[in-house]
Amino acid sequence: MITLYKRRTGLVATAGVLGGVLAVTALGGTSNAATSGNDAGTPPKTQARVNQAGAQEASDARIEITPGQGAHNVGINGPVGVTVSNGNLTKVTMTAVATGAEIPGTLSADGTSWKPHGRLGRATKYQIAAEAEDAKGRSATGNATITTVSPANDFIGHVSPEDGSTVGVGMPVTVDFGKAISDKAAVEAEIQVRSSSGQRVVGHWFNDHRLDFRPESYWKPGSTVTVTLNRHGIRKTVTFRIGRSQISTVDAKTKQMTVVRDGKTIKTIPISSGSPEHPTYNGQMVISEKFRQIHMNGASVGLTEKDGKPSYDIKAVPHAMRLTDSGTFIHGNYWGTDSVFGKVNTSHGCVGLKDVRGGGDGRQPAAWFFDHSMIGDLVILKNSEDKTTLAPDNGLSDWNMSWSEWVAGSPTT
């Protein structure tokens, strides 16, 4: 199958619909790091604000998105839809990830369900975002990413990025197989990845299921990458474009992020990264997913208080972008005071930027960075107190492996 695939490692990352929103474990750089980032600050007052923020946003509305987060092989005729219990849907958007095209749909007369119009596209990744309110006007949000069936379901595997997409210079080609591959050399020989830039592209097997391709250095901006797959007499092609170069460097010591676009610094943003107890990974990370809002809950990794309640439960963290599969995000923080950003590292491993509740103010640093970032952009973190090594297969962190090690991971070289 040729689809864009959302990976999860066998670590402690979890995902599910809780309280009507997507709950995602957001780990930091260390093995005992906790969910989210900048959501459980070191000062007691910061923690109190986090708990208060979660309590204020609690809603009875429960959103369910069918067929569910991360679903593959979804039929082009459904069933795809959104329902809500204990409330009413106020907004539902369904967007084709590669093109940004919004899919029209119909909301039921009683406001409890939504369905898209007509057939969906084949081998297409869609992101669904839903909003609802309960009887007291308290809001809930839900998010899910699904991928429709390919014309040849058993072709070879899930391939990312998606055909026709435009991505940042750090985006590797990833093929995830549904079953373990024993003859890696034979399978890899069936896949060719070429760039219009002329860069040499080499594959690397991280395990029996995952094969990535990348050049020695980042892709050249403006180039086109073509992935050709041949198997059982069937030929498939995936083509994507490399956009402008954007590399953002987060300095955990100075607590500043420098955004460099095509070699020129376009913005410097104050940040707050992982606390000394939960430092953020050092290394090169790649944005793999973007969410306007996402749910972060400490209990999902066992971070609870003495009474069993989660250490924090923030229903709608704005402008969240995934950096690792184990849960490192760069996201908006509306509960931190101005004295945090650029001055104190308070998170459990994520990188936080100043924001407002709901993320509706485009002037805020988090909103600006979200709007000016794309899947495949690089975020490099340095000077963190973290002493562990960021695994290259943790998310799209391929660039943390030396070229000699990378080439050694291909049986065809």
* Domains along the sequence of the chain with CATH: 26-52+245-291+302-398 (2.40.440.10), 158-243 (2.60.40.3710)
Burial class (CB in 10 A: 0-12, 13-18, 19+), 77: exposed
Burial class (CB in 10 A: 0-12, 13-18, 19+), 111: middle
Cα dist from 71 to 15, 127, 146, 148, 394, whole Å: 12, 11, 5, 8, 21
Q: How far apart are CA 66 and CA 135, in angstroms?
A: 23
Q: Which two structure tokens, joined as six digits, stand for 301?
A: 């990794």
What local confidence, expressed as pLDDT, does residue 19 receive? 26
What local confidence, expressed as pLDDT, does residue 155 receive? 52
What local confidence, expressed as pLDDT, does residue 71 receive? 84
Angle at 27 (CA atoms; ends 312, 384), nearest 5 degrees: 110
What local confidence, expressed as pLDDT, does residue 46 receive? 43
pTM score, whole prediction: 0.73
Cα dist from 238 to 157, 164, 175, 224, 262, whole Å: 12, 8, 12, 11, 26
Q: How far apart are CA 201 and CA 213, in angstroms?
A: 6
If we measure between CA atoms, which residue out of 259, 237, 224, 227 comes closest to residue 150? Answer: 237
Which residue type sits at 1?
Answer: M
Collapse the DSSP code of 407 into the 3-class scheme (helix H, G, I; strand E, B; otherwise coil) and give the result. helix
What local confidence, expressed as pLDDT, does residue 77 receive? 81
What local confidence, expressed as pLDDT, does residue 29 receive? 34
Q: How far apart are CA 198 and CA 113, in angstroms?
A: 50
The list of the chain residues with pLDDT below 70 reads 1-58, 150-156, 298-304, 311-312
Per the listing, tokens 């495949």 go with: 376
Catalytic site positions: 331, 350
Beta bridge partners of 61: none
Which residue type sits at 88?
Answer: N
Collapse the DSSP code of 265 into the 3-class scheme (helix H, G, I; strand E, B; otherwise coil) and give the result. strand
Beta bridge partners of 225: 195, 240
What local confidence, expressed as pLDDT, does residue 299 receive? 60
Q: How far apart are CA 167 and CA 221, in angstroms?
A: 10
Collapse the DSSP code of 49 into the 3-class scheme (helix H, G, I; strand E, B; otherwise coil) and give the result. helix
Q: What is the Cα Rg of the chain in Å? A: 21
Model confidence pLDDT, tens digit, residues 76-130:
887 899 999 999 999 999 998 878 889 999 999 999 999 998 889 888 889 999 9
Angle at 164 (CA atoms; ends 159, 221), nearest 5 degrees: 95
Report the 10 Å Cβ neighbour count for 310. Answer: 22
What local confidence, expressed as pLDDT, does residue 375 receive? 96
